[in-house]
Amino acid sequence: MEPFSLYIHIPFCRTKCPYCDFNTYENIEHLTEDYINSLITELTYWSRYIDLNSKNKYIKSVFFGGGTPSYISENNISKIMQTIVNNFNLLDEAEISIECNPNDLSQEKLLSWENSNINRISIGAQSFSDKFLRVLGRDHDFIEISQGFIKARSLGFDNLNLDLIYGIPSQNMDDWKSTIKQALILKPDHISMYGLTIEKNTKFDWMVSEGLMPNPDSDVAADMYEYVEKEMNNNGYTHYEISNWSLPGKESKHNLTYWYSQEYIGIGAGAHSFYSGLRFWNVNSPNEYINLLEKNRTIQNNTEICKGFCAVSEVEYYDNNTRIADKFILGLRLVQGINQSIFTKSFIDLVSEKYDKEINELIHMRLLEITKDSIKLTRRGRLLANEVFYKFL
């Protein structure tokens, strides 16, 4: 069996950002201790389940996401990592990432994370403009981004990512160019850049519906995306996925797990998994998640992943057509697309035949291009990726 990945969901936030629709909560700090204990219990269950099914327990990546993992104490991160080390086999080259806010990067936390084998830090910078940080509801300023980044680098972290958002209402091209310039001065190993979207049931959704904020301008966002494609290339970064750039060898191993349709197990409230050919996810409520794990602190005898296993809420038993479409869409997110260096020739031939009509339409629209051994989005296709993906669902 191939090594797999672990995702650890930390749902706690100091404040919830107005654009965020992730399974995150503020003012639930009183649940922290019970939640951490439940994570440890679920990790232990999974270790035993894998033993029962004679699969290996080799881990190639661990990702602490949220929420704000850096918001909880470094001792809790250490406890979770110790549980993983005790119950699974971390590959020597395993990538272990943690998401953090810039103003959480104290020397104490950084040293503790380093001692816990964390070797990649993803910093939620979002912007290098205090004006737009306020619009986004962030509680740090641009100076704290630079200070936190430099501190992490000085302590030996050689794999640092910056998250940035573009297409913010009233943000113009000069604003965006300034943020990119400031980010590149730091020379991060990896940059993820996402166009702002207004998600349902967020504060931004309410503000737009009430006329308090305009919808993001898609034409301006497209110009910002095209600018950054050129600028990143000029500065030695490889564009390897629609929203992700890295220096050579610094691609996110964990995120590549998703785009290659490889196996991962999600631990925590609302965490999703893809394992043994199934997609499934846990209950969203941290309180309900804790209660379910509290009831089952003894060894589980489950030999099948099903609703009720650990804290699983739903299992998706999807058909072969959906499975192929999922793998195809995820692979198309890669700039090199569905390529024989990653995907088998038989899979490329299968999707070429299965979606012959759709592929030809998209080629005519200059959104897809096809060669002897690959199918990939064009530059224009990356701008209109969701339209492309919709064709295959």
Q: Which amino acid is at 220?
A: V
**β partners of residue 165:** 194
Fill in the DSSP letter of residue 301: -
Contact 264, 273 (CB under 8 A): yes
* pLDDT given at position 222: 96
Q: Is 210 exposed, middle or buried (0-12, 13-18, 19+ CB in 10 A)?
A: exposed
pLDDT on residue 317: 84
Q: Which residues of the chain have pLDDT under 50?
A: 299
pLDDT recorded at residue 297 = 63
Q: How much is the pLDDT for 147? A: 98
pLDDT digits (tens, 9 = 90+) for 121-152: 999 999 999 999 999 999 999 999 999 999 99
Closest alpha carbon to 391 in 353, 371, 370, 361: 361
Q: Which of 13, 18, 14 is nearest to 207 (CA)?
A: 18
* pLDDT tens track for 264-306: 999 999 999 999 889 999 999 999 999 999 887 654 555 678 8
What pLDDT shows up at residue 299? 47
- Tokens 């592929």 locate to 359
Cβ atoms 380, 367 nearer than 8 A: yes
Neighbours of 115 (CB within 10 A): 11
